[in-house]
Every structure is written in structure tokens, then in C-alpha cells.
Homo-oligomer: A and B are copies of this chain.
Amino acid sequence: MALVLSVNVPSVKKPLPAETLTSGCSIGAVQDGGMGALVTLTTDFGRDSIYVAQLKAVLLSINRRLTIVDVTHEIPPQDVVSGAWVLRHTVPYFPEGSFHLAVIDPGVGTERRCLAVDWEGRYIVAPDNGLLTFLYQLSAPRRAVWIENRAYFRAEVSSTFHGRDLMGPALAWLTHGIPLEELGPSAQKWVELSDDWRPRVGDREIQGRIVFVDRFGNLITNIGKDCWPQQVRPVIKAGDYQLAELSRTYGEHPPGSLIALFGSQGYLEIAVVNGSAAEQTKLTVGTPVLVTW
């Protein structure tokens, strides 16, 4: 995975689509907060693992008044891109004032640092490895700090489990209302995934990538409906595969067919009817996808 250091706090790339940031209804939602803070967890620890239980024990030891939502603990081990994609499609749905811990951390034990950020009023804690890139493509963080104040760490910090010993405790203390700046100094530069992970839209083509493989083996790309050409019939290429048609639903083709369609989140995906495109094609996260017309 190609990583580049961003040179400064990036400015907002494009206006944030309002609908992705509101979960409310026509009638105003009630935010009484009587349940304490809302915390989500996105990790590669493995569901049912003792690591998840140890993390929750630490969080709840610091603040018993938490509502914890397990987004997933099944991010493929150390797969920062898949983690970034899941955060992009979950964090914006949670209300302002919610807290989000993301631990996919291949650099644990090295010099990589940890971040706490205010993103659209949501507080996120994560290792500094690009996990927040796809969120930042929606809008830049309002504030970001390096987590350095050891007063908010676990008394003993292991070399392999900073989710439990450092990032988890920092997040739990944030839920008590301590200011972000209490955790450490302001962060001005951080790691982001390279621009190869951003789709490039040209006059006659779109260059994208596979960014996630779902549990059915569907290959989800970063090519959104909003940049899809009108009134032409593009050809879609991924690896050795070429698709000349965009399907509307799975039902249009016989089982086993390789098809391309827009999924429920509005992104182009490559699928096999009643099967697994990941298994059939062996394509995976990172494969370039080229759309031409």
C-alpha cells in the first residue's frame, strides 16, 4: 500500500453531501444523552476474541456510562484500506458528539503515532496510518492532536496492544469531556493514503480501484454514481476481466454470471450472481478498475 505524508491540513475537497451527515428524521431527533457517551469500535481483533473483551473492559473501567456499538472486528488483519472504507460508510451516520475508536494498526511497536481528531463534531481515535483518509475526502478534520499525555494511558503499556493500553483509554477519557488538547499537542501533518486511492475522472474514462470486499465476495470500488457518464455505454475493466454492461439487479443474469452494478451505497461493484466475485476472479483490494467510453 502506497502511503504519502500529506504536507498540511488538507482543505475541504468538495462540499460535504448533507444527507450523509444526518441520520435525523423530519421531526427533530431527541439527544438527551442520558445514557452517557456513544462509542463505536472498528478493529481487526477478530470477533469473539479476548482482545475485544479486554478493550471493552478497559473502556468501561474508565467510564461505565458508555453505549458501545461494535461496527466490526473483522477487518482483514492490518488492512488499512478496508478499515478506511468502513469508517467512511459508518462514522457519518452517527450523531455529533459520538466517539469512534478505529484500531487497524500494522505499525504498532514502531514509531508511528496515534491521533485524536474532531471530524464534523465526531471524535475519532486511530493510529496515524491513513485510516481516516476516506473520511477526510468528505471533509477535513476540524482539529487533530497527537496522543502523548501518558496520564491518560493504561498504567502499563504493552508493545503490541495499543488499542487496549493507549488509544482505548484516551478515547474513554474523551467521553468524560476532557478537551482534545489535553491528550497532546496539535497535529499538523499526518499520514494519508496516496491519491491512487482517489478516483480520477477524465473526459473519456474513470480510473478507480477495488476498496472493499464484502462478506459475499462482492468487489466494491471507489467509483460513485455521481461521476458516472450519462447517455453512453462504458466498458469496465478490472484485471483480465472486461464488462460491457451495467446491470440494474442481480436477477437479470443467470447464476455464475460476472456482472457490474451500483450497490446500495451508490458505488460500482463487481459481483457474481449467487457466487463470490472475489473467489472467481481472485481480484482483491487495490486492483485498478478502468471505466472507458
* A residues in contact (CB < 8 Å) with B: 19, 22-27, 29-36, 38, 40, 46-51, 53-54, 56-58, 60-69, 71-74, 86, 89-90, 93-95, 150-156, 158, 160-161, 169, 173, 176, 214-216, 264-265
Contact = CB atoms under 8 A, between A and B. Distances in A.
24 contacts: A19-B155, A25-B152, A25-B153, A25-B169, A27-B152, A29-B63, A30-B62, A34-B65, A35-B35, A38-B64, A48-B73, A48-B74, A48-B215, A49-B72, A49-B215, A50-B89, A53-B90, A54-B93, A56-B69, A57-B95, A60-B69, A64-B95, A158-B264, A161-B264
A218 to B, nearest CB: 11
A53 B88 CA distance: 12
A64 B169 contact: no
Contact of A95 (B27, B50, B61, B169): B61
B151 A62 contact: no
A212 B224 CA distance: 38
A150 B173 CA distance: 39
B64 A30 contact: yes
Contacts of A29: 61-63
A214 B35 CA distance: 34
Nearest to A159: B264
Given A48-B215, A49-B215, A64 B65 contact: no
A61 B24 contact: yes
A24 B72 contact: no
Identical copies of this chain, number: 3
A173 B27 contact: yes
Question: What secondary structure prevails in chain A residues at the interface with B?
Answer: loop
Contacts of A154: 23-25
B26 A155 contact: yes
A151 B151 CA distance: 47
Contacts of A60: 38, 67, 69, 94-95
Contacts of A27: 151-152, 173
A49 B152 CA distance: 32
A225 to B, nearest CB: 12
Contacts of A25: 62, 151-155, 169, 173
A90 B36 contact: no
A35 B215 contact: no
A71 B33 CA distance: 25
A230 to B, nearest CB: 19
A75 to B, nearest CB: 9
